[in-house]
Amino acid sequence: MSNTHFQLDRQGRLLHFLTIEGLKRHHLIEILDTAESLRGVAERRVKKLPTLHGKTVVNLFFEASTRTRTTFELAAKRLSADVLTLNIATSSAVKGESLLDTLRNIEAMQCDMFVVRHEQSGAAEFIARHVKPHIAVLNAGDGRHAHPTQAMLDVFTIRRHKPAFEALQVAIVGDILHSRVARSLIHALGILGTPDIRVIAPRTLLPVDVEKLGVRVFDNPTIGLRGVDVIVMLRLQKERMAGALLPSEREFFQCYGLTEERLALAKPDAIVMHPGPINRGVEIDSRVADGPRSVILEQVTNGIAARMAIMSITLGNHARPTGEQI
């Protein structure tokens, strides 16, 4: 049984949000439309809605992250949920308590949602299969597998600038091999009908058979960036690399870093994105990262609205009498 089906109820509604792969277009559009309706909450005098009042959201981060964790915290609080962030480094897990024991103890606190980030692929699905039926699980990144909420905030950002996915040319540049962000974004763009998705990287940073994801592969950015509408730069994930996949960061920047000269190859109104954190002078030149075509900080803002949308949809579906999970 795939986790794609496991995250849906019998009516096809989201109970968990574990992966983009295999979802339908209407699932993504529902999230995007809901995020659009919630984006203005941050501009209100009181930045809160009562949507999740009385609910408890637990951030269960086994892997370090500042941006993702804080945006999930803000998203939950803006929906009026109570938020508990578990510091794994100081939790009972380091004393030998098993993951399931940890879950059972947190469940006993009457929580309603786990937001899970873990270095092992499949961890979020494992947790979703073992929690009580009323608890929703959101994947905040698992190994190299998936980062579905990042993909949704990315396509949300793209749609606010370029709403016709069916006419877009999108280039994803950098460490494709280790990037769960790239995998989830490719799936999301494909579901939304993007006809031209390009990945640009040295061969050592490309997964085997990456073409099977429906992308065009380029190892030359001069060719790959030509005429694109969106450029998504990826962080070089040095902590995940085993062996000498790159001669040096300096050489990577010279060959693949996004400079003003390379940006000029794209369409004049192309936007530049990056999931962060940025390695300036490695993946991207500061003049581009801080330039007028960069929407990198907008991605952070949009991440709160997108995660608010996903939280409200999944917990809302748990509240309905939907019957057993499949």
Residues marked as binding for carbamoyl phosphate? 67-68, 117, 147, 150, 276-277
Q: Residue 19: name the closest of 150, 114, 120, 119 by CA.
A: 150
Residues annotated within a binding site:
67-68, 95, 117, 147, 150, 180, 235, 276-277
Strands lying side by side in the sheet with 230-233:
216-218, 196-200, 169-173, 230-233, 271-273
Task: Evaluate whether 122 touches 46 at the Cβ level (below 8 Å).
Answer: no
Q: Residue 139: name the closest of 148, 151, 150 by CA.
A: 148
CB-CB neighbours of 11 under 10 Å: 10
Alpha carbon of residue 64 to chain centroid: 15
Q: Which residues contact 302 (CB under 8 A, 6 or more apart)?
A: 35, 39, 153, 156, 157, 160
Residues annotated within a binding site for L-aspartate:
95, 180, 235
For residue 137 the two structure tokens come to: 């699980």
Helix segments in the chain, DSSP class H:
3-6, 25-38, 67-78, 99-107, 123-130, 148-161, 180-191, 221-224, 249-256, 260-263, 286-289, 296-318
Task: Evaluate whether 221 touches 200 at the Cβ level (below 8 Å).
Answer: yes
